[in-house]
Chains A and B, each alone.
Chain A
Amino acid sequence: MSGHNEHTSVDQHDHVPSYGKNVMIWLVLVALTALTVTVASVNLGDYTFFFAMLIASVKAMLVINIFMHIKYDDLLMKGILVACGFIFMVIFVIYSFDLFNTYTG
């Protein structure tokens, strides 16, 4: 653990986050919010759900990577995040099959 300690502190001192970059990311997030509201008023049929979730996912990635600065964290933190996301996706996909089978099959 002491290895991580030193590693992280070095990283953090190397990367003192700037005001400007965070403001830029915020502007992108606001723009994406405007986009998702606009897209919602257009009838895209079956794709509406897909697009809304796609934009939400892009926003989530920006928040996780920059605001929660996972981007600058070490491999262990990133690894756990990806593993948890993957397990959730597996549960979600398996459950989806069951749902579609029950209600639309």
Chain B
Amino acid sequence: MSTTSVDAHGHSNNHAGHGYGDNDQLYVHFHRDDYGSKFGMWLFLFTEVLLFGGLFVLYYGYRIAYPQDYHHAAMELNIVMGAVNTLVLLTSSLTMVLSIVALRRENIKASLLYLFITFGFGATFCVNKYFEWSAKIHHGIYPGSLELQESRPAGEVVFFGLYYLMTGLHTFHVIVGMVVMVFCYIFIKTGTINSDKYIVLENAGLYWHLVDLIWIFLFPLFYLLH
């Protein structure tokens, strides 16, 4: 694994596998590779797409096997809740972008404010999800429930199983994104992330947009297709 660093004068220094000698110490300290950082983030995002992609394919497979059951089950989901959560996530994606724009324009206060709003939208999403799940569980619809086992056809059991698995995994990603935002907020405050070194916030943004992206597909597949 070779690492490349560019020092303040734009000179490139290549540390190719060998141990760092005394002369290299200075460059290790200044080591920075924004391109590599972003590229690594994208590679990670692809593994996320694979994770959800597999589940989408599973959803699609059972949809073809049980088209009628899917239609009936989807009718029970609350479109308004789903649509509100879609708007919440779309808007949070916008405020995330605006936070990066503000930071790059050296408007630290606005950047922090936008990041805080983004965090708020993430929390709103989770609260909506809590009420949505609570209502379903109240009606006896949850994985392994008596209602599903005894009075529902196989297709509906699969549909709700996938609903809980996929929206649950997605909401977990929302929570992880919010934790990352807390760190970004602190780093912007301390100046570790600034108008020159904003790659960490940018990568956090990429992650957040992926979460939005997955919801863009989850929403029509579970709530709208009935």
Chain A interface (Cβ < 8 Å from any Cβ of B): 1-2, 4-6, 8-9, 16-19, 22-23, 25-26, 29-30, 33, 36-37, 40, 48-49, 52-53, 55-56, 59-60, 63-64, 67-68, 76-77, 80-81, 84, 88, 91-92, 95-96, 99-100, 102-104
A1 in contact with B64 (CB, 8 Å): no
A32 to B25, CA, bound (A): 53
The number of A-B residue pairs with CB atoms under 8 Å apart is 120
A52 in contact with B87 (CB, 8 Å): no
Q: Does B79 contact A (CB under 8 A)?
A: yes
For A9, list chain B residues within 8 Å (CB): 34
Minimum C-beta distance from B223 to chain A (A): 8
Counting chain B CB atoms within 10 Å of each CB, the highest count among A18, A25, A59, A67 belongs to A67
- Which bucket holds chain B's interface residue count? 35 or more
B86 in contact with A18 (CB, 8 Å): no
A23 to B213, CA, bound (A): 17
Q: Does B136 contact A (CB under 8 A)?
A: no
Provided the pairs A63-B213, A84-B49, A92-B57 are in contact, do residues A37 and B224 lie with their beta carbons within 8 angstroms?
yes
A1 to B98, CA, bound (A): 29
* 29 pairs of residues in contact across A and B, judged by CB atoms under 8 Å: A1-B12, A1-B33, A1-B35, A5-B33, A6-B6, A16-B104, A19-B98, A22-B94, A26-B91, A37-B83, A56-B220, A60-B213, A60-B216, A63-B209, A63-B216, A67-B94, A67-B205, A67-B209, A67-B212, A68-B205, A68-B209, A77-B38, A80-B42, A84-B49, A88-B50, A96-B60, A99-B61, A103-B65, A104-B64
For B97, list chain A residues within 8 Å (CB): 17, 22, 67
